[in-house]
Structure 1
Amino acid sequence: MSGSYTPAPGGPFSALTPSMWPQDILARYHQKDSSEGAERYDEFGFKIEKRGNRSGGDGSPHSEDPQQRLRWQAHLEFTHNHAVGDLTWDVIAPDLMRPQLWMRFSGALQKKRTSEISYKEIVKNGSNEDSSTSKQIEKDLLRTMPSNACFTALGSVGVPRLRRVLRGLAWLYPDVGYCQGTGMVVSCLLLFLEEEDVLWMMCALIEDLLPPSYFSSTLLGVQTDQRVLRQLIVQYLPALDRLLQEHDIELSLITLHWFLTSFASVVDIRLLLRIWDLLFYQGSLVLFQVTLGMLKIKEEELVASENSASIFNTLSDLPSQLRDGPAVLGEAMRLTGSLAQATLDAHRHKHLAYILNEQAQLSNGAVNTANLNKAVRRQSLRRKSTLSSLLWGEDEADALKAKNIKQTELVAALREAISSSADHFHCLDPHQTNTDLTPDYSMESHQRDHENFLVVSRNRRRRAKALLDFERHDDDELGFRKNDIITIMSQKDEHCWVGELNGLRGWFPAKFVEILDERSKEYSLAGDDAVTAAVTDLARGTLCPALKNIFQHGLKKPSILGGPCHPWLFIEEAASREVERDFNSVYSRLVLCKTYRLDEDGKVLTPEELLYRAVQSVNMSHDVAHTQMDVKFRSLICVGLNEQVLHLWLEVLCSSMAAVEKWYQPWSFLRSPGWVQIKCELRVLSKFAFSLSQDCELPDKKQEKEQRPLKEGVQDMLVKHHLFSWDIDG
């Protein structure tokens, strides 16, 4: 550090890390003759306007409790984990301790210690990059924080540091590159940490604290969070939600910048420090809590606004008007104290799937999902040249290691998705609280799978769920309430069925019920998406993406440029191959049952036949709506969950070697013995009773059209019932 000037305690630049003290400005402050009329700066280096303090806050000077600082120092020296015990952020982290605390609790310190590449090597490789990314970084250096003395000119103390860190990040994460949001965060971090620590803090932010693709060119992560925020507003701020809908205001136009910069250069610097204390310890959940808290504080003012312009301006100015840190954070925690990370993850999975589906429709299915995996890949220190790769190929040991790491990540993601579904049933269904979730990896378990399948198929009871209330008027009628489960005794008449409920037997309108499934397993309200909407998010938003990643791993690219490449195509071919040898008999049996109304309870479909039938059913219903293959894949998974055969279907698909070898690379998951482990994991889901709609992602108009005549046909059925006698015992 050049120069020897030190800021006065509580004076200009006193809150900055010593290496960021601008010696030229401090020198002018120490010259009494030129002190008058000179620009004034606060303790963080921001210019103080003539009308007031730019930083705002409560106006109190920088003061700390020495005893509190000693307690934090003792904690850092004598603990080796991330637990803070009774040292909570409620008492505010000491300013001088923030660099150490942020590094420890964010995980950046561990990354720094275990990295195989040093910061100097990263900077060297980053400086060699002569690309459009470097040019864009150079353009934004003076735009990032122009009101701070450390970044006002190319010769300012912070600008070279900002350049090195941003170039290093762009080289380290080529899939991410450079985003203006990272520049805002890095410049604020540089005020308090050394540049090497700032880089590792950004690594922790990109890899661990924020969802994937937050700073990528697609901004998929932050776009997803904007939709999640909108959904949370419906739950926590219904009055504001109605206001935004009434005035057709797109909130993400304002809040996307808040999330992209983690509130850097958005809120007062003192409030930012409090927010980051929580962010680096708790993760991205804090972004939602703080945003909802700020909106809650201004909710009454927003509701009282007269027009859309006034509402939009109030929302835009909201962060700059809130400077009372304890009030903002206190309101945030009171309002969203019940918001859990698991809930946030479920919302993210669901809305990310929706965004990808929308993009696929716009680009004819060509969506780049390379950077959607949470484990962001870093650049290696020595990259092979293209010529070397062509001549010698990839290093075999490295390729095997990468393959094993990838497969481990896929299994872990699937296991987490299964665990989330199991927790859902445990919470809502008392009968499922003692369900064993331990996968059975024994050889005998695979033999028992088919035995159990046949037992359930042959000994099942045909059951249906009531769609509407049906009041009992006559002794031979069966009354029920909506969502009651009825055991069907006879389906001989297409309008009036005979059923049993709570020991009573009688007839009821067939249109008032819905057959549960082919195999009539035990029913659970927790698994019925018509009763519990959250199960749809768990199945389609969490489990399906995890399974798709497994099916996509090692999928061969089409030889023709632009050709289709999707797991659904493999599933279609494999299902057809497996029933091809018995195709005529299977097809004839299904046609006979439907054409002549043969007793459908009498047929026992094998898992292969059930898979083929499900694929055909999904194609027939979804092709009419011109849906994407992603939607078909999710719908098929839901059918498999309903029939409790997802694990058996995986076995059927992976056993179709001709199809597997055609569609997958030798190192893929489905061509390795690892698929057996996946089957064992999926077997756990067969212990739960799902009742998911196959067509829930199809346009609503079709469903409304089908549901409209529900009661219209009941009048004819009632006339028929009273004209002809009905023998219930027959």
Structure 2
Amino acid sequence: MRAFHLTSLQHTTKIKVDEYGFERPPDFDYISYEDFMSEYLKVLAKRAKKWSDLLGNGRSIMKNRLAKRYIRKGIPCEHRGKVWLAVSGAEALKSDYEANLFQSLLDGPVNQDIVEIIRTDLPRTFPDNIYFNTTDEHQQKLFRVLLAYAHHNPRIGYCQGLNYIAGLLLLVTHCEDTSFWLLKVLVENKLPDYYSPTMDGVITDIEVLSELVKEKMPDVHRHILALGLPWAVIATKWFICLFAEVLPTETVLRIWDCLFYEGSKIIFRVGLTLVGRHKSEILKCDDFSSVAELFKEITQDSFALHCHDFMQSVFRIPGTLKRTRIESLREQISAERKRKNEMQNQQKER
């Protein structure tokens, strides 16, 4: 299930795609969705007025307590690209580089191996989205963003998962250059080593999530451990795709609003909220397959669809979550993995 936005005020009955072009499944619950939208549209109208006042006369947004509160309550779709650029640091970063960097990368020499890898992934990107599955236009835009970034940052090049992120950025911003800079700031500043060849950042943060669940919900952690379900099975896509293709679209974008402003801590808050909200159902699962299936279901239920209530829960259910604690866990886990790797290398040498 996916969500409409304020600009889609028309009656939603039996409309088969959402505002972003994602096709709704045959079993889409239109009645529940309209119940939700009847309330959410009121919230959106109120927020749109406040944002118009904040950004009136072309003003740029500054990082402060007011902006943080506004962003946590959601950025209107028409302002997202501009606000994301400003609060993420991408706008300032862009000024440090030559003008028209994006186009100059496209005009320069290309690595044909990277070209082929990206082209292979293009048809796999959002196959349920009419913009990507009915014409070549969006696929070509996506190709150019991914190709430019791969040549800009050869250490990372192209990594699976980036296609979903860049694709959704394009659907929101409608601009290749903006999407390029937002992709750059995500990959290099907000999500360290998530998309490196070894994906150490993702591996580490999945273990961090596991430790946070252990601290905050030890009974759930013990139960999942007893069932033999690795957290990597549950959460890898959460981290790699930043919940794109996992949660309803508008919920994903509300998460990204906070991600661009506050950084990766929001990913842990969302993960802990999904676990905490469905704690009783998780504890009732009695085998590996049932709990794995449950984790698929909870990302598409009515709670996940009701993005405003969901985001309010994200800042309530996990309780206190300090950045220093996350960084400490990252350091501990990385050091332990390094120690194990050194021991394994020593054993091989013997």
TM-score with structure 2 setting the length: 0.86
Query: In structure 1, what is the equivalent of residue 94 of structure 2?
Result: 112
Following TM superposition, by how much is the alpha carbon of 1:329 offset from its aligned partner in structure 2, in angstroms? 2.5
Measure, in 2, the Cα distance between the counterparts of 1:72 and 1:124.
38
**Whole-Å separation in 2 of the counterparts to 1:180 and 1:292:** 25
Whole-Å Cα distance in 1 between the matches of residues 204 and 107 of structure 2?
35
RMSD: 2.8
By how many angstroms is 1:331 displaced?
2.7
Q: How does 1:405-484 map to 2 (within 5 A)?
A: none
Whole-angstrom CA distance in 2 between matches of 1:351 and 1:78: 39
1:318 aligns with 2:303: no
Deviations 1:435-466 (A, max 9, x none): xxxxxxxxxxxxxxxxxxxxxxxxxxxxxxxx
Partner of 1:130: 111
Name the residue aligned to 1:44: 20
Q: What's 1:343 paired with?
A: 325
Q: Which has the larger radius of gyration?
A: 1
Residue 187 of structure 2 corresponds to: 206
Q: Secondary structure at the match of 1:192?
A: helix
Partners of 1:134 and 1:254 in 2: CA distance: 31
SS of corresponding position for 1:319: coil
Question: What does residue 215 of structure 2 align with?
Answer: 235
Paired residues, what number? 331
Q: 2:121 aligns with which of 140, 149, 152?
A: 140
Q: What displacement does 1:209 show?
A: 0.9
Q: 1:152 aligns with which of 133, 144, 147?
A: 133
State yes or no: 1:253 paired with 2:233.
yes
CA distance in 1, matches of 2:338, 2:147: 29
CA distance in structure 2 between the aligned counterparts of 1:9 and 1:275, rounded to whole angstroms: 19
Correspondent of 1:172 among 132, 152, 157: 152
In 2, are the aligned partners of 1:249 and 1:308 still within 8 Å (CA)? Answer: yes
Equivalent residue for 2:52?
70
Give the Cα–Cα distance (whole angstroms) in 1 for the partners of residues 167 and 110 of structure 2.
21
Alignment match, 1:190:
170
Q: Distance in 1 between matches of 2:60 and 2:231?
A: 46
Q: What is the deviation of 1:254?
A: 1.9
In 2, the alpha carbon distance for the partners of 1:144 and 1:365 equals 42
Change in Cα spacing, 1:9 to 1:224, as seen in structure 2 (3 Å) is closer
1:121-157 superposed Cα distances (whole Å, 9 cap, x missing partner):
12223xx32332221110110101111111115x432
Mapped to 1, the partners of 2:201 and 2:60 lie a distance apart of 37
Question: C-alpha offsets along residues 83-115 of structure 1, whole Å, 9 cap, x if unaligned?
Answer: 252652343222211111111111111112221
Q: Displacement of 1:333 after TM fit? A: 1.7
Partner of residue 8 from structure 2, selected from 5, 10, 22: 10
* Segments of 4+ moved more than 4 angstroms: 53-57, 60-63, 363-366
What residue identity is the alignment partner of 1:64? A
Distance 2:71 2:17 in 1: 28
Partner of 1:161: 141
Aligned to 1:264, what secondary structure does the other structure show? coil
Q: Equivalent residue for 2:269?
A: 289
Take 2:221 and 2:70, find their aligned partners in 1: how far apart are those partners?
33
Contact 2:242 2:267 in 1 (8 A): yes
Contact persistence 1:64–1:94 (CA under 8 A): no
Q: Hey, what does 1:579 align to over in structure 2? A: none
Question: How far does residue 40 in structure 1 lie from its aligned partner after superposition?
Answer: 3.6
Which SS does the other structure have where 2:98 is aligned? Answer: coil
Structure 1 residues 208 and 11, CA gap change in structure 2 (3 angstroms)? same
CA contact (8 A) 2:60 2:86 kept: no
Q: Which residue of 1 aligns with 2:3?
A: none
**TM-score with structure 1 length normalisation?**
0.43
Q: Tell me if the contact between 1:184 and 1:261 (Cα under 8 Å) persists in the aligned partners.
A: yes
Q: CA-to-partner distance for each residue in 1:310-366, whole Å, 9 max, x for gaps?
A: 112112332122212233323332233421111111111111122223333444599
**1:309: how far off?**
1.9
Distance 1:365 1:104 in 2: 50
| RCO comparison, higher one (Cα < 8 Å, 6+) | 2
| Percent pairwise identity | 24
Q: How many Å apart are 1:177 and its aligned residue?
A: 1.4
Q: Distance in 1 between matches of 2:136 and 2:16?
A: 16
User: For 1:356 and 1:216, how far apart are their aligned partners in 2?
Assistant: 16
Unaligned runs of 5+ in 1: 1-7, 13-36, 367-563, 565-625, 627-730
Write the letter of the residue equivalent to 1:210.
L
- Cα separation, 1, equivalents of 2:60 and 2:119: 43
**Cα distance, 1:302 vs structure 2:** 0.9
Alignment of 1:205-604 (within 5 A): 205-211=186-192, 213-321=193-301, 322-364=304-346
Q: CA deviation at 1:120?
A: 0.7
Structure 1 residues 182 and 363, CA gap change in structure 2 (3 angstroms)? farther
Q: 1:50 to 1:343 in 2, by over 3 A?
A: closer
Aligned mates of 1:75, 1:359 — CA distance in 2: 56
Offset of residue 287 of structure 1: 0.3
Q: 1:76 to 1:90 in 2, by over 3 A?
A: farther
1:149–1:156: 8 Å Cα contact kept in structure 2? no
Q: d(CA) in 1 for partners of 2:85 and 2:65?
A: 14
Partners of 2:343 and 2:52 lie apart in 1 by 58
Assess, with a 3 A threshold, how the Cα gap between structure 1 residues 103 and 242 changes in structure 2: closer, same or farther. same
Partner AA of 1:357 in structure 2 = R
Quick one: distance in 2 between partners of 1:53 and 1:40?
A: 11
After TM superposition, give the deviation of residue 48 of structure 1 in Å.
3.0
Q: CA deviation at 1:248?
A: 1.9
8 A Cα contact 1:108 1:201, kept in partner: yes
Report Cα offsets for 1:244-263 as digits up to 9, x if no partner: 12212212112011011111
Q: Which amino acid aligns with 1:197?
A: T
1:56 is displaced (CA, Å) by 5.5
Preserved contact between residue 294 and residue 328 of structure 1 (Cα < 8 Å): no
CA offsets, 1:443-492, max 9 Å, x none? Answer: xxxxxxxxxxxxxxxxxxxxxxxxxxxxxxxxxxxxxxxxxxxxxxxxxx
Q: How does 1:19-38 map to 2 (within 5 A)?
A: none
Alignment deviations for residues 665-720 of structure 1 (CA, whole Å, 9 cap, x no partner): xxxxxxxxxxxxxxxxxxxxxxxxxxxxxxxxxxxxxxxxxxxxxxxxxxxxxxxx
CA distance, structure 2, for counterparts of residue 53 and residue 170 of structure 1: 40
Q: Deviations over 1:608-646 (max 9, x none)?
A: xxxxxxxxxxxxxxxxxx9xxxxxxxxxxxxxxxxxxxx
Distance 1:285 1:76, change over 3 A: farther
- When residues 335 and 52 of structure 1 are mapped into structure 2, their CA distance, relative to the original with a 3 A threshold, is closer
